[in-house]
Chains A and B, each alone.
Chain A
Amino acid sequence: MTNSPPDALLALTNVNTFYGQAQVHFDLSISVPRGHIVCLLGGNASGKSTTMKIILGLVKPRSGDVTFDGASLLGLTTPQIVRRGIASVPEARRLFADMTVRENILMGAFVRDDREAIAQDLDKMLTLFPKLGQRLSQRAGSLSGGEQQMVAMARALMSRPRMIVMDEPTMGLSPLYVDRVLELIRTINREGVSVFMVEQNASLALEIAHEAYVLQTGKIVLSGSARALKDDPRIRDAYLGGSEAA
């Protein structure tokens, strides 16, 4: 916790993670300041998605700490972590394919009991994602990838989170939707929700992020403000150049 600045909403400190005997994270430290968009960049198999799972309590680190708003998340179950105010947009959306769009969005409010406010928030989602209005009673599995991403984001917002974690929100989307999704992430952030996103697409992520970290085979090899990183040639090397980059 010494490494994280006092205004960090989420902080991972010296996290080491293993799958069996294979180490996935090496002394990983990441901090997400309140109100910021922080992006974790990295190629395939760099350990990005595992970082998401650590935050959500789906995977337990062997050592290190994960804190949210000053309190450790280790030892909490995923539902408990969600109740603390972290919502997620999982990799490949992971919608409930046989449930309707409406049901999917409302599932996001599962931890809430205030029926009227939930109904209001649903209306709010439909203004934020107008396209979903006509799709409410359709099976979520029948939507296009871009529409599914909208549903996944709406679903995450329904818990009124203080923070959203997103795993590759632009993966497999057409360019049109990529821009929409990025714009929406900005909008969500402006309303006060902190965002931690894992991305492979560096240039897109750096467009909207405040800070970024570059992860390579489980180690942070680069980090700093998004603005600085955008012009850093090492980013490109980190992706296309192999292990010598850092």
Chain B
Amino acid sequence: MSTTMLSLHALTRRFGGLTAVDAIDLDLAKGELISIIGPNGAGKTTLFNLVTGLDRPDAGTVRFEGLDITGLSPERLAAEGIARTFQLGRVFGNLSVMDNVLIGAHTRLRAVKPAVPVIGPLLELGLALLRPASVKAEEERLREEVKVILARFGERLLPRIDQPAYSLSYANRRRVEIARALALRPRLLLLDEPTAGMNPTETTEMQGLVAELKAEGLTILLIEHKLEMVMRLSDRVIVMDEGKKIAEGPGEAVRGDPKVIEAYLGHGLTTKQESAA
């Protein structure tokens, strides 16, 4: 009964002489959570860029729910229900927390729906200026929804709902990013190091949130360095090194894989540890 949500086939991206993503295959089933781990420069974020349309692959295909989405624009993919967060925390600095999250719901607005060239945008402009009751009601409904999303983060964001994002702490910006992604009502969520820069308490909180999302049936692709979190959350773990997939499987199996330990620690230590064990 597991249907494939996302399917990557031989996905490859080269920069000059460097192959950042090297023939990656991956199948993500509906409701599954897969973590991608690997040392710096392994190609994890590039892989995310390829899936979300911010970068185009040199070879290979990306399929989403059976549809070939290779090379489609990020705008299109957002409308298809793919949401992501960014490694460096790309919030809209001068927008309030509320507005940041509302942007997440952008593709759901009725005013932006007509895709007819010229007429569609002009209609959107007209609706924005006239603001009939239906538009007002939709905006109100979304604002309420944003508050519900923000409530998932306890008292972290709600009291700051009208503050500009640039004034938030690093950890809170990460939370805003995730809230924004949730506002899209994604069918596939890509999280790029959601706990970077967070202390242990905050990390545990975030881990709880991701577990909740997974329990709610959301399909998630996660890049994370905190292995403990990866082990607890993931159905499967994929290890990348120098653009290649070097291991794949359940967390514990991958963690003990000599190739993985070597990628992270180097071979010398591996052998010593193995013999010691």
Using CB atoms and an 8 Å cutoff, list the residues of chain A in contact with chain B.
19-22, 43-45, 92, 144, 168, 171-172, 200-204, 206-207, 217, 230-231, 233, 235-236, 239-244
* Minimum distance in angstroms from B73 CB to a CB of chain A: 30
A-B contact pairs, 10 of them (CB 8 A): A44-B225, A171-B41, A172-B41, A203-B270, A204-B268, A235-B269, A236-B273, A239-B227, A240-B255, A240-B261
Q: B86 within 8 Å of A by Cβ?
A: no
Using CB atoms and an 8 Å cutoff, list the residues of chain B in contact with chain A.
17, 39-41, 168-171, 193, 196-197, 199-200, 203, 225-229, 231, 242, 255, 261, 264-270, 272-273, 276
Provide the bound-state CA to CA distance between A19 and B196, in Å. Answer: 13
Provide the bound-state CA to CA distance between A233 and B266, in Å. Answer: 15
Which B residue's beta carbon lies closest to that of A48?
Answer: B40
B255 pairs with A44, CB closer than 8 A: no
B264 pairs with A20, CB closer than 8 A: no
Question: Which B residues lie within 8 Å of A230 (CB)?
Answer: 269, 272
Describe B's contact surface by its main secondary structure: helix
A243 pairs with B228, CB closer than 8 A: yes
A203 pairs with B242, CB closer than 8 A: no
Counting from the closest, the 6 A-B pairs by CB-CB distance are A242-B228, A203-B269, A22-B170, A203-B266, A203-B268, A201-B266
B197 pairs with A202, CB closer than 8 A: no
A21 pairs with B170, CB closer than 8 A: yes
B228 pairs with A44, CB closer than 8 A: no
Question: Which A residues lie within 8 Å of B276 (CB)?
Answer: 231, 233
Which B residue's beta carbon lies closest to that of A172?
Answer: B41
B266 pairs with A204, CB closer than 8 A: yes
Provide the bound-state CA to CA distance between A206 and B273, in Å. Answer: 14
Provide the bound-state CA to CA distance between A19 and B168, in Å. Answer: 12
B266 pairs with A240, CB closer than 8 A: no
B170 pairs with A231, CB closer than 8 A: no
A22 pairs with B264, CB closer than 8 A: no
Provide the bound-state CA to CA distance between A231 and B277, in Å. Answer: 12
* Minimum distance in angstroms from B224 CB to a CB of chain A: 10
A45 pairs with B197, CB closer than 8 A: yes
B40 pairs with A240, CB closer than 8 A: no
Provide the bound-state CA to CA distance between A168 and B40, in Å. Answer: 10
A20 pairs with B272, CB closer than 8 A: no
Question: Which A residues lie within 8 Å of B40 (CB)?
Answer: 44, 168, 171, 200
Provide the bound-state CA to CA distance between A202 and B268, in Å. Answer: 9
Which A residue's beta carbon lies closest to that of B170?
Answer: A22
A236 pairs with B265, CB closer than 8 A: yes
* Minimum distance in angstroms from B47 CB to a CB of chain A: 16
B228 pairs with A241, CB closer than 8 A: yes
Interface centre among B168, B196, B197, B269 (most CB of A within 10 A): B269
A240 pairs with B273, CB closer than 8 A: no
Interface centre among A19, A171, A207, A239 (most CB of B within 10 A): A239
B269 pairs with A236, CB closer than 8 A: yes
A45 pairs with B255, CB closer than 8 A: no
Which A residue's beta carbon lies closest to that of B271?
Answer: A203
Which B residue's beta carbon lies closest to that of A26?
Answer: B199
